[in-house]
Every structure is written in structure tokens, then in C-alpha cells.
Structure 1
């Protein structure tokens, strides 16, 4: 991966992380204030909505930090090592958690007349899409495992060749 690509990706990651901190520090408290004025019939939505949003942002932050660490490993040429699996596993777990949070949002919004049933269905579709991303990351983990195995084999064969020469 080229130096320009690494810098561009890190700039994007920093922007996203700064934006997520802004959401947690400014937008969630403002949303909490707005939700104080909810109709009493829908007051039960306030706490679950805020909790789901905060946990969703935390899941995104976890992914961003893990991607940063993986990019660092790529730049150093150490990504094809067992240490990379920890970060990929955490990313997978964060996406699964995010999918469950999106589904929990649908469950919270489903009863009553708070939102239209079609919107709840769309949110369930979004949960399915996020779970699909988790599965894609899982497939990429399998590819990383194959690459690590090939790298270990190549290193072993190179050592044997060095002994012969």
C-alpha cells in the first residue's frame, strides 16, 4: 500500500473519529433535550433510542481504531501475522453488535404508532445489511488466514533454500 493511500485513509479515519466524538459529545445531548419534549405516549422511547445511538457510535469507533491498527500493520509489512486476526475479529464483532443494535432499534420502534410499519421493515433491512458486512469481514478473515499460511510456508521454503545454497 502506497504512502499516499495510507495517509489518505488515515485522514478519513481521523475525520470519521472526530465526527463520531462530536456526535457523542454534542448531538446526543441535543437529541436528549429534544426527546424531553416527546408526547407522553412515546416517552418510553427516549432512553432506548439514546442508548442505541451511543452504543452504535461506540461500535463505529471500535471499527475505526481497528482499521487504523490494520493499516499500520500493512504499512510495516506485518499484516500477514497472527496479530492481525485480533483486529479483524474485533471488527467482525463490532459489526455484529451494530447489526443487533439496528435490529433493537426496529424492535423499540415497532410497537404502537410511533413510526410507520414500513419504516420498521426498512430498519430491519438495514440490520440485515450490516450483518452482511460482518459476514464479508468474516470471509476476508478467511482470506487473511490463507495468506498467513502461505507466508509461513514461503518463509519456511526460503529458509530451506538458503540452507541448500
Structure 2
């Protein structure tokens, strides 16, 4: 028979989907690095989706923590640890955000360098 969709099951499915989305984005970005096309605006789409997926994963994790908390009254340590993991996941999202800013600077410099090269070519 079919399994009933309990809140925990829905949350687990959402979590797995968001992790897979993030992994696909990482894979696409690695492919772009190999081709040398990562310093382009197309890369931002994947980075943005990845940040969204990681934030979604952390929200899903917090939801699990909240759903799990009533059962952990005897041992609040588990809830604290799970909360810490949720914060850690958000920390990863922040790191990706910082890397996105660095990528934005690199793309801007790449564009500037290309423009300067074009101007130099005109002069020569």
C-alpha cells in the first residue's frame, strides 16, 4: 500500500530534492570551470539556485527540528544539536554567497580586461 504523507516524510522529500538541486548546480559549475566559461553571467544562475537550495535545505532542517522537538523533551540536547546543524547549513549558504560576490568581481574584471584588450587592439 501507499505510505501516508506525514509532515516528517514531506519534509524529508523536500530536503532530498533541495540537496539534489544544489548538487546539480555544483556539477554544472564544475563543468563550466573545465570549459573556462565560469566567469560569465550564466554561472550566476547556478550559484543563485544553489544558494536557494541550501537555504531551503536549512529551512527544511529547522522544520524537522521543530517537528522533532516535542518528542525530545526528556533530552533537549538533541534539539540543540539539530538547531546547530541548521545554523551550519545556513553558514554554508553564506559562504556560497561570499563566493558569488567574488565571482561577480572576477566577471567584472574579466569584462574590463576584455574591453581594455579590445581598445589596445584598436590602437595597434
* TM-score for the superposition, normalised by structure 1: 0.70
Listed as ranges, the gaps of 5+ residues in structure 1 are 1-28, 37-45
CA pair 115-131 structure 1, distance change in 2 beyond 3 A: farther
Q: Is the 8 A contact 2:11 2:64 kept in 1?
A: yes
Instruction: Name 2:119's counterpart in structure 1.
Output: 160
Q: Is the 8 A contact 1:109 1:115 kept in 2?
A: no
Q: Secondary structure of the residue that 2:38 maps to in structure 1?
A: coil
Partner Cα separation in structure 2 for residue 157 and residue 112 of structure 1 = 63
| Structure 1 runs of 4+ with >3 Å offset | 112-115
Instruction: Name 2:64's counterpart in structure 1.
Output: 105
Instruction: Name 1:76's counterpart in structure 2.
Output: 35
Listed as ranges, the gaps of 5+ residues in structure 2 are none
Corresponding position: 1:118 with 2:77: yes
Q: Is the 8 A contact 1:103 1:127 kept in 2?
A: yes
Higher relative contact order structure (alpha carbons within 8 Å, sequence separation ≥ 6): 2
The number of aligned residues is 123
* TM-score for the superposition, normalised by structure 2: 0.92
Cα RMSD over matched residues?
A: 1.9
Q: Secondary structure of the residue that 1:78 maps to in structure 2?
A: coil
Instruction: Name 2:97's counterpart in structure 1.
Output: 138
